[in-house]
Amino acid sequence: MPIMKERLSRQIFRPLGIVLFFLLFSYAAMAATGEKDSVFLRVTSGPGQEYTIKVQGTQSERGFLIDLASFARALRLGSVFDGRRMQIDEAFGSTVTSCVLEAGSDFAVIGSAAGDTPKRVIQLGSSPVIQQDRLSMQVEQACRMFTLWLGRPVRYDASESRIDASLGSRVPDASLQAVGRFDSDTSPDTAPLKSPQSSAPSAGDSTSSRPTEGKTLIYDVVVQTRANGVVIRFSASGGMRRASFLRPDGSGNLYLTIENAVGNPAYLAKDYQAGVVRSITPTLLDGGAMQFTIALNVPAYRIKSSSFRYDPLKNDYVISIMNDVDVEAIHLSEKERRIQERLSRDVDKWKLDAVVIDAGHGGKDPGAIGTRGTREKDVVLNVAQDLGMFIRQKWPDVRVIYTRKDDTFIPLKERGQIANRYGGKLFVSIHCNSTAVNNRVRGPEVYILGPHKTDASLKVAMFENSVITEEENSAESYKGFSDEYLIMSSMAQSAFATQSTELAQDVLRGVSRSGSNNGLGVRQAGFMVLWTPSMPSILVETGYLSNPAEEALLRDRKEQTSIAYEIFQGLQQYRASYESRMTASARMGE
């Protein structure tokens, strides 16, 4: 009998062992080939404030290449990519800064959006590459770059395949913020970037922050127009280098050659449609120098003189070009200056300098609930916070006011009062829709205040207004709510009707998505949250939680950020046309 049991055990466990062996072999082979397309990012912004999100990327012979746009979006940073260069913006402090990266370039250029702080240049351990039309970078080097730029630890744990980012206060070691800046008293031939190895952000990171072979980096070219000519500045990081300057030849070309210098010719090349300078063409010479050919528009301008100097305060190489003075142009410029001064005195009366963002529901009021348990109050809070982030990054001069920043219940009437109290110029209320009649309905909608024109609009308004039953003394607070009261409220907002409609149309164009079947178009209904704000006001229904497919989209964190950016694009379009129109009206009044 024991022998029979042993044979039986062998018959059972031998095939099982073979199966386990092949499973383990397949897993090991998959790990060896690096078949992964994402890593987890854990972000901590303060006590009890943490979230984890996937960041896209690809495995390659160089290691895991992380998608920089996905990385930036996960950190709640804005980014723009033109197919070659990417600009990432942050606004953690009072100053908005940007980081510019380019495929194939070993340098990241960092500066403030307002241009009021010196630029920094960080040398990368590996240059970004383009993978499937996306800008990617080795994950360790991307973490190092974000750490040095933001002054906050961003570290990659390869064993856990996870990135940890702490976005609270800056790292106490201030030397991180010195990386990329040069000492003014350092020898030109040995000037290193300040990068103490003791402040390296991750273990084993020994990448130097010196320019290659001690060369000076030319990282930007700016042409400044004056009434009697132009000033061309070539911005550098590194010690002062010997330079030669050749004045314009018969064809109107002049030349600046800077010895022992490098730069990215594709980025530094410039073309101009009008003005004294037609183009600037950089060339890397065999001898280790960089030469710039500046083509002047000699048929249209008579050049009087040209000169060259080095600006030690800004570490710029400067060319000044003077042409004949156009007296009429000077008079016109002076007239425009006086008009602009008068306009600036009245700008606060109409400038869009504060946006109120209202995340619907909250606290004891969950709002609509999807079939998978997705709560409206959670979705719209994420969208609202992301929208506020984009506004702060892209519009540093605009204040963002939230009616709620967390899972708090705020009465409807108080939301509009908050908007008025803090001087809002736009009011954007964010919600998710739901219907019990047809779970196939999907798509975003944008509403303004007014008497409902369809039963569907009435039902949406009734659902959103039903929250008043959760409020204390609701019967007294909302006494007199009727169609007549709604009409009076609409009349009281008539001054903003046109602006609200225009705002709603711009936002609707931004959030519209393929597959919508709810009948696009700006709608109006009696939303109580829109009663009290004394400013252009809209309510955005981001989609239907009652539709299973759209619920899956609305609960996706990346899609929530995309929706927020689409709403911002609508606000951006509205702001551009509104301020342009107001400026034109002010000029006509002159």
388 with 527, same domain? yes
Length, in residues, of the chain: 590
Angstrom distance (rounded) from CA 90 to CA 55: 18
Question: Of 526, 532, 565, 211, which Cα lies nearest the Cα of 386?
Answer: 565
453 with 360, same domain? yes
Angstrom distance (rounded) from CA 11 to CA 1: 15
320 with 369, same domain? no
Summarised one tens digit per residue, pLDDT across range 67-125 is 999 999 888 888 888 888 899 988 776 667 889 999 888 888 888 766 666 778 887 87
In a domain, 72, yes or no: yes
Strands of 351-492 (E only): list them. Answer: 354-359, 399-402, 426-433, 445-449
Domain of 235, CATH number, reads 2.60.40.3470
Contact in structure between 276 and 321 (CB atoms under 8 Å):
yes
In a domain, 194, yes or no: no
Averaged pLDDT, 464-487: 46
Domain of 513, CATH number, reads 3.40.630.40
220 with 291, same domain? yes
Angstrom distance (rounded) from CA 59 to CA 36: 6
Q: Is the pLDDT of residue 44 over 60?
A: yes
378 with 526, same domain? yes
Q: Is the pLDDT of residue 47 over 90?
A: no
Output the CA torsion sign for 467, 472, 475, 476.
Answer: negative
Token reading at 569? 């694009």
From residue 541, alpha-carbon distances to 50, 203, 359 in Å are: 27, 47, 11
Higher pLDDT pick, 272 / 479: 272
Side chain identity at residue 498, one-letter code: T
Which of 150-159, 341-350, 415-424, 561-570 holds the top average pLDDT? 561-570
Q: So what's the pLDDT on residue 117? A: 66
Convert 549-564 to b/e letters by CB count within 10 Å (16 or more is b): ebbebbbebebbbbbb
Question: Of 524, 571, 517, which Cα lies nearest the Cα of 543?
Answer: 517
Q: So what's the pLDDT on residue 326? A: 57
In a domain, 205, yes or no: no
Contact in structure between 400 and 392 (CB atoms under 8 Å):
yes
> CA torsion angle for 89, 51, 377, 504 (degrees, to 10)?
20
Question: Of 556, 569, 455, 553, which Cα lies nearest the Cα of 511?
Answer: 569
Side chain identity at residue 122, one-letter code: I
357 with 302, same domain? no
Q: So what's the pLDDT on residue 90? A: 83
Number of structural domains the chain divides into:
3
Side chain identity at residue 546, one-letter code: S
Contact in structure between 296 and 321 (CB atoms under 8 Å):
yes
Q: So what's the pLDDT on residue 296? A: 92
Strand 277-284 and strand 270-271: the pairing is antiparallel
43 with 119, same domain? yes
Contact in structure between 39 and 66 (CB atoms under 8 Å):
yes
State the distance between the two ends of the chain, measured CA to CA, in whole angstroms: 111
In a domain, 7, yes or no: no
88 with 231, same domain? no
Angstrom distance (rounded) from CA 63 to CA 242: 40
318 with 356, same domain? no
Angstrom distance (rounded) from CA 175 to CA 177: 5
**For 364, which DSSP code?**
T
Q: Is the pLDDT of residue 132 over 90?
A: no
When pLDDT is cut at 50, 70 and 90, the band that residue 15 belongs to is: low
**Domain range enclosing 317:** 213-325
363 with 315, same domain? no
Rg (CA), the chain: 30
Q: Is the pLDDT of residue 468 over 60?
A: no
Contacts of 446 (CB under 8 A, 6+ apart): 504, 505, 507, 508, 511, 522, 523, 538, 539, 540, 541
In a domain, 217, yes or no: yes
In a domain, 60, yes or no: yes
Average pLDDT over all residues of the chain? 76
Averaged pLDDT, 268-287: 89
Q: Is the pLDDT of residue 551 over 90?
A: yes
In a domain, 178, yes or no: no
Out of 141, 173, 205, pick the residue that ends a domain. 173
Angstrom distance (rounded) from CA 24 to CA 16: 12
154 with 273, same domain? no
263 with 363, same domain? no
The pLDDT > 90 percentage for the chain reads 29
In a domain, 347, yes or no: no
When pLDDT is cut at 50, 70 and 90, the band that residue 251 belongs to is: confident
